[in-house]
């Protein structure tokens, strides 16, 4: 059951991470990194609200997603050009695509939450990041 709209969804999730499954996405690497950053902002920094605003999503900097343990000046030289050149308009377009494809959801007042596909596909990520489960359904409780 979706925490945002109350509808029940069923889905099939591929648990095999092989080369063929990696080819199954239409999203570019910067778009995927943007999506991951939004998920982290909603789940880990969302203060149990289960959403962030669309403005907060658009202000996410992909450069901050590079984590390699290097000194700050070294990490700046290792940031892919595609991350540095990912514009606000590309973020807006990607946000729209992620909402349309149900990876994210959107409310009429501009709040961005997790979509049904994220809840289905990210179960192990929720467990690994110690997201508190719902006491009734034992699924990740993002919106409490």
Pairwise CA distance, residues 126 & 101, whole Å: 20
- Domains of the chain, with CATH numbers? 27-115 (1.10.10.10)
- Indicate if the pLDDT at residue 95 is higher than 90: yes
Pairwise CA distance, residues 98 & 86, whole Å: 16
Q: Which two tokens stand for residue 115?
A: 């979509």
Per-residue pLDDT at 71: 44
Pairwise CA distance, residues 118 & 6, whole Å: 15
- CA-closest candidate to residue 63, choices 22, 33, 41: 33
What b/e readout covers 43-77, taking b as 16+ CB neighbours within 10 angstroms?
beebeeebbbebebbbebebeeeeeeeeeeeeeee
- Indicate if the pLDDT at residue 118 is higher than 80: yes
* Predicted confidence (pLDDT) per residue in 38-83, tens digit: 998 888 775 557 789 999 989 888 776 665 444 445 555 566 666 7
Higher local confidence (pLDDT), 108 or 64: 108
Higher local confidence (pLDDT), 26 or 68: 26
| Mean pLDDT in residue range 18-24 | 67
């Amino acid at each position: 059951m979706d925490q945002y709209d109350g509808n029940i969804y069923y889905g099939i999730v591929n648990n095999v991470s092989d080369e063929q499954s990696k080819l199954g996405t239409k999203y570019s690497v910067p778009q995927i990194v943007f999506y991951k950053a939004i998920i982290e902002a909603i789940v880990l920094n969302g203060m149990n609200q289960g959403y962030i605003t669309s403005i907060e999503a658009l202000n996410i900097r992909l450069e901050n997603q590079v984590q390699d343990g290097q000194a700050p000046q070294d990490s700046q030289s290792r940031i892919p050009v595609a991350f540095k050149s990912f514009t606000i308009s590309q973020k807006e377009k990607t946000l729209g695509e992620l909402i349309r494809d149900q990876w994210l959801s959107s409310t009429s007042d501009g709040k961005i939450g997790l979509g049904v596909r994220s809840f289905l596909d990210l179960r192990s990520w929720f467990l690994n990041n110690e997201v508190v489960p719902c006491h009734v359904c034992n699924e990740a409780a993002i919106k409490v």
